[in-house]
Chains A and B, each alone.
Chain A
Amino acid sequence: MTAVLLYVLRLVVGLWPRCDRQRFAADLVAAAEARAAEAGRSRGPAARWRCLLDEVVAASGEAWHLRRWRRSLATSGTRQAALAGWRGDVVRAWRGATRRPVTALGITVTIAAVVAATATALGVATAVLWRPLPYPAPNRLVFLWEAAAEDGGAFRVSRASAEAWRRAASSIESMAFFGASSFALETPDGVSPFRGVRVSPGYFTTLGARPLLGHTLEGPARLDEIVLSERAWRTRFGAAPEIVGRTVRLSGAPFTIVGVMPDRVSPGWPANPAHIGLDPAEREYWVSLPPPGDNLRSHLFGVVARLRPGAEATDVAAELSAAAAEGDGHAAVVTAFRDQFVHDARRPLLVILAAVVALLMAAIANLAALQATAYEQQRQEFSVRAALGAGRGRLVRAIAVDVGLHSLLGVACGLAAARMALAWLPEMLPPTMPFVTAPALDATVVGAAVAIGVLSTALMAAWPAARLLAGGPARNSRSVIGGRVYRGLVVAQVALGVASAVPAGLLGRSLAVVLGRDAGFAMTDVVVTDVALPGPTPGANPPMAEVTRFETDVRAALASRADVRGVALAYDHPLESNWSDVLVLPSPGQASDEQQVQLRIVSPSYFAALEVDVLTGRVFDDADRADRPGLAVINRALAERIGRQALGLRVTPGGPRFTWGAAVPDAFTVVGVVDNERFRGLEADAAPALYLSTRQFPMPEVSLLTRTAPGRAEAVAADVAAIVRGVAPVASVARPRLLTALRDVQLAPRSVTARVVTVFAAITVGLAVLGVYGGLAAAVSARRREVGVRLALGESPRLAAGRVVADGLATVGVGLALGLVGAAASGRLVAHVLVGVTPADPLVVGGVMAGLLAAAGAASVVPAWRAAHVDPVEVLRAE
């Protein structure tokens, strides 16, 4: 029995791991036998057998435990060995970077710049074009406008049309209209302008907007309730937590604050043609629209609607147009909510994204070339490592870790820079930029940045890795510098530089053309100040005589300054036109001719003060009072539209009698024709316009226009508010602005696009020039022996230098030729925004080509000088 148990014990120990079995088996069996013998001696044979049985059981248990333990050791050992390998590569990569800090910094900074630019551009594009709007089911939100009969454009809506649409449209779930509102906010510090939105019931319900505090204006309209914007709550009321229920005085009347709305894009201040501003300064509050009086047909409103699920915009437009006869007879234009704000921004954003892609590709080409150069410099190190047993896969991994380290640092720095840029951008750019959602670094943008980092790593490592896998780091193998692939990278960078610089030049030149356009009025040194005279009750106009007296006194007060050249008042400043009307023009023997025109209400001094040319007839003067026959002036565009002798024509705009009743004329005779003003902005053509005098159509809310002596606008702007209040202490006076600043805000989308594309193009061109320089410098370094031998054989240094320059220019020449093809495509991308410039403008294209050629030539100078100064003796001695 003992022998059997010992035999079984030996069998079980045979299951132990081999190393333990070989080491311990003999001693183990001997020890077990000795234990069993001792137990047998003291307690009998049964005890011996029991002892041996215990040994068998213990040995089988140990067999299992030891095997598991040995397996875990082997796995962690392999993992540790692998980790040790990766750790070693990271340490080597770090040491390599510290040995070549300029190259390492160049690679990291390039990646960081590209990631920052891409992440920022993508963040802005996402915020403007793609991120869901902060309303439930935003795809069902639309704006409704009335269509202009003659040109199909759109303009503000009348209450009559809005009510007709509400009754007729079965595909609309809810609808509300909104219009501009302005009060004088009375605070302990004085009176300040306060601009907001008047809304009909259902405005907030239609949007699905919830308040931050309190409640909104729902239910029966209460005209003494006001909802603040979050911005107003914070800037004007110090974010007071107990704001709801507080009373404020607006233009002398008390209002109760019932709620605060969070800052987000919302409809407000509709302007013609079919424009809704995004300036938060014009959406500081919401109040209810008063009941309709006689102004049912005044086109003052915008309309926002929520469609029923499944309804299409085209169906809605057809449905509403069928109901046109009940309103003002105009068809409806339906615009998706987002499109209303960003329609004009889509293509510029795509242009910017295209510029970023070009920059990215140029940067990757640049980085691949840099890495190839670095690989050449490390060729000896790789050879030694290969000789010591490192396989190709091992060396490829070392390269991947090296470039991955740069990419990781570059992506991290780039994301940090993009985060800052996206936070600053809404503050730096004009408030009219269409940020319908706030730009932020979200998962999409971060994912894109990381993808760029991975892509750049892969592409940077691809070429050296391919060389290693193909032939290994052989000492005597041919250098990659100057090879076809290397030259191709330089050519690609130059081509991308041309393709991105040409549209930048076109956009810049186009901007210059727009800025250089004749506006038709004086643009520089003009201060614009919006003034509102309060009436006896909120919503009521002040007496006409008071308005006229204010105009006379304020003009006199400002004109008395030595640095003021002219003073005028106008309902709209020269770069704006919010009032359109339909003129009925008599035609002998025919039905009356209706013309849609812009109505411009100006003081008699307007044309002289703003230097608007008078073409024929005369303009207004102070003697043309309200109790005299009505006089009108038209612009050249309207005169051409009329097509016959305009002087003496009688026209009947509806505005004056609506506002002042019989106190003003109802018909006006055209007495003069003035030149066109670009009152739709410098980018748009002039529209037909009818001018009426403020003497015959007084305006309690006006823009005060003060033209100053050259360079005095800022000084006058600082004093205007005090001067106005000196004439009318209760007037609400907005912050004065320069007309040129208003022009810049209008042109902001164009100028911002041009600037951004130019910056990206400059970086791309810079990378291309660096690529040319780097390529030539590396080629000279790699061919130093050859150059030295040539010099030793009698070649002149000048010839050696000339060869380098010719090499560089030849490479650049190929790049320029390819770049022309790219420029043709990129020029077409921006063609739609060009003004006065064609996509193939020879000045721009020629300038870019010449500039790049000159830059490449300059980049060749240092390498050429080095080639000319190679010491042949030193080279030959090294041989």
Chain B
Amino acid sequence: MAAPPVDQLPLSVAVYQVLLSLVENDLHGYALIKDIDTRTGGEVRLTASTMYGVLARLLEGGLVDEVPGAEDRRRTYRLTRTGRALLRREAERLARAARWAIEKRLVPGLEPRS
């Protein structure tokens, strides 16, 4: 099977947020949109089309699995082991980037650890 484009770092903002939302729970489509909106304080707002487009790529790349919904007809999505590993690598990369900026005292209110 061809490798999906989303497994290449860096991840896009939409992909990163979708994977992050699935870290603790399996969620359906609209719940993902809500979770991202709430967690980012409205900074990242995905349309349903964008979100499902991302899900299509994540499913093709094996980063997310589809779980049939138990009570209603809506499908839920679960983070796979591959997706979790990829997300962890991206988070580590972002953390490194943030640390370099903090060391440069670029971010007001954030001081480097002594």
Chain A contact residues, CB within 8 Å of chain B: 13, 20, 23-24, 26-32, 34-35, 54-55, 58-59, 61-62, 65-66, 69, 73, 76-77, 80
A58 to B47, Cβ gap below 8 A?
A: yes
Chain B contact residues, CB within 8 Å of chain A: 1-2, 4-5, 28-30, 33, 47-53, 55-57, 60, 73-75
Q: Which A residues are CB-close (under 8 A) to B51?
A: 31
A30 to B30, Cβ gap below 8 A?
A: yes
Q: Can you offer 5 A-B residue contacts whose CB atoms are under 8 A?
A: A28-B48, A34-B30, A54-B47, A58-B49, A80-B2
> Roughly how many angstroms separate A61 CA and B14 CA in the complex, as a whole number?
15
B1 to A65, Cβ gap below 8 A?
A: no
With A35-B48, A54-B47, A76-B2: A62-B30 Cβ-Cβ less than 8 Å: no
Q: Which B residues are CB-close (under 8 A) to A24?
A: 29, 52, 55-56
> Roughly how many angstroms separate A77 CA and B60 CA in the complex, as a whole number?
13
With A30-B74, A32-B48, A77-B2: A66-B33 Cβ-Cβ less than 8 Å: no
B53: contacting residue among A65, A73, A77, A80, CB under 8 A: A65
Q: Which B residues are CB-close (under 8 A) to A31?
A: 29-30, 33, 48, 51-52
> Roughly how many angstroms separate A76 CA and B3 CA in the complex, as a whole number?
9
Q: Which B residues are CB-close (under 8 A) to A54?
A: 47
> Roughly how many angstroms separate A651 CA and B63 CA in the complex, as a whole number?
111
Q: Which A residues are CB-close (under 8 A) to B2?
A: 73, 76-77, 80
Least CB distance from B37 to A in Å reads 9
Q: Which 6 A-B pairs have the closest CB atoms?
A: A58-B49, A59-B49, A58-B47, A31-B48, A62-B53, A31-B30
A62 to B49, Cβ gap below 8 A?
A: yes
With A27-B28, A28-B29: A69-B50 Cβ-Cβ less than 8 Å: no
Q: Which B residues are CB-close (under 8 A) to A59?
A: 47, 49
A66: contacting residue among B28, B53, B73, B75, CB under 8 A: B53
Least CB distance from A87 to B in Å reads 16
What secondary structure prevails in chain B residues at the interface with A? helix
A61 to B49, Cβ gap below 8 A?
A: yes
Least CB distance from A61 to B in Å reads 7
Q: Which B residues are CB-close (under 8 A) to A76?
A: 2
A27: contacting residue among B4, B5, B29, B60, CB under 8 A: B29
> Roughly how many angstroms separate A548 CA and B47 CA in the complex, as a whole number?
117
Closest chain B residue to A55, Cβ basis: B47
Closest chain A residue to B31, Cβ basis: A31
Among B1, B29, B48, B55, which residue has the most Cβ atoms of chain A within 10 A?
A: B48
B30 to A35, Cβ gap below 8 A?
A: yes
Closest chain B residue to A20, Cβ basis: B56
> Roughly how many angstroms separate A58 CA and B51 CA in the complex, as a whole number?
10
> Roughly how many angstroms separate A58 CA and B49 CA in the complex, as a whole number?
6
> Roughly how many angstroms separate A80 CA and B3 CA in the complex, as a whole number?
11
A35 to B49, Cβ gap below 8 A?
A: no
Least CB distance from B87 to A in Å reads 21
Q: Which B residues are CB-close (under 8 A) to A20?
A: 52-53, 56
Closest chain A residue to B69, Cβ basis: A27
> Roughly how many angstroms separate A80 CA and B47 CA in the complex, as a whole number?
34
Q: Which B residues are CB-close (under 8 A) to A55?
A: 47-49
Least CB distance from B61 to A in Å reads 10
> Roughly how many angstroms separate A66 CA and B5 CA in the complex, as a whole number?
12
Least CB distance from A401 to B in Å reads 24
> Roughly how many angstroms separate A24 CA and B52 CA in the complex, as a whole number?
7
Q: Which B residues are CB-close (under 8 A) to A61?
A: 49
> Roughly how many angstroms separate A58 CA and B74 CA in the complex, as a whole number?
21
- Given A31-B51, A31-B52, A66-B56, 14 additional A-B pairs, CB 8 A: A24-B29, A24-B55, A27-B30, A31-B33, A32-B49, A34-B30, A35-B30, A54-B47, A58-B50, A59-B47, A62-B50, A73-B2, A73-B4, A77-B2
Least CB distance from A123 to B in Å reads 47
With A77-B1, A80-B2: A32-B47 Cβ-Cβ less than 8 Å: yes
Q: Which B residues are CB-close (under 8 A) to A58?
A: 47-50
Among A27, A32, A61, A73, which residue has the most Cβ atoms of chain B within 10 A?
A: A27
Least CB distance from B92 to A in Å reads 27
Least CB distance from A63 to B in Å reads 8
A27 to B33, Cβ gap below 8 A?
A: no
> Roughly how many angstroms separate A596 CA and B90 CA in the complex, as a whole number?
99
Q: Which A residues are CB-close (under 8 A) to B5?
A: 69
> Roughly how many angstroms separate A329 CA and B52 CA in the complex, as a whole number?
104
> Roughly how many angstroms separate A24 CA and B49 CA in the complex, as a whole number?
9
> Roughly how many angstroms separate A27 CA and B56 CA in the complex, as a whole number?
13
> Roughly how many angstroms separate A24 CA and B55 CA in the complex, as a whole number?
9
> Roughly how many angstroms separate A13 CA and B47 CA in the complex, as a whole number?
13
Least CB distance from A41 to B in Å reads 14
> Roughly how many angstroms separate A31 CA and B77 CA in the complex, as a whole number?
15
> Roughly how many angstroms separate A73 CA and B33 CA in the complex, as a whole number?
27
> Roughly how many angstroms separate A58 CA and B53 CA in the complex, as a whole number?
10
A27 to B53, Cβ gap below 8 A?
A: no
With A69-B5, A77-B2: A28-B52 Cβ-Cβ less than 8 Å: yes
With A35-B33, A66-B56, A73-B2: A27-B75 Cβ-Cβ less than 8 Å: yes
Q: Which B residues are CB-close (under 8 A) to A35?
A: 30, 33, 47-48
Q: Which A residues are CB-close (under 8 A) to B4?
A: 73
Closest chain B residue to A27, Cβ basis: B29
> Roughly how many angstroms separate A446 CA and B46 CA in the complex, as a whole number?
61
Least CB distance from A96 to B in Å reads 30
Among B28, B50, B56, B73, which residue has the most Cβ atoms of chain A within 10 A?
A: B56
B50 to A73, Cβ gap below 8 A?
A: no
Closest chain A residue to B47, Cβ basis: A58
> Roughly how many angstroms separate A832 CA and B106 CA in the complex, as a whole number?
93
> Roughly how many angstroms separate A635 CA and B19 CA in the complex, as a whole number?
109
> Roughly how many angstroms separate A62 CA and B4 CA in the complex, as a whole number?
16
Closest chain B residue to A36, Cβ basis: B48
> Roughly how many angstroms separate A248 CA and B1 CA in the complex, as a whole number?
79
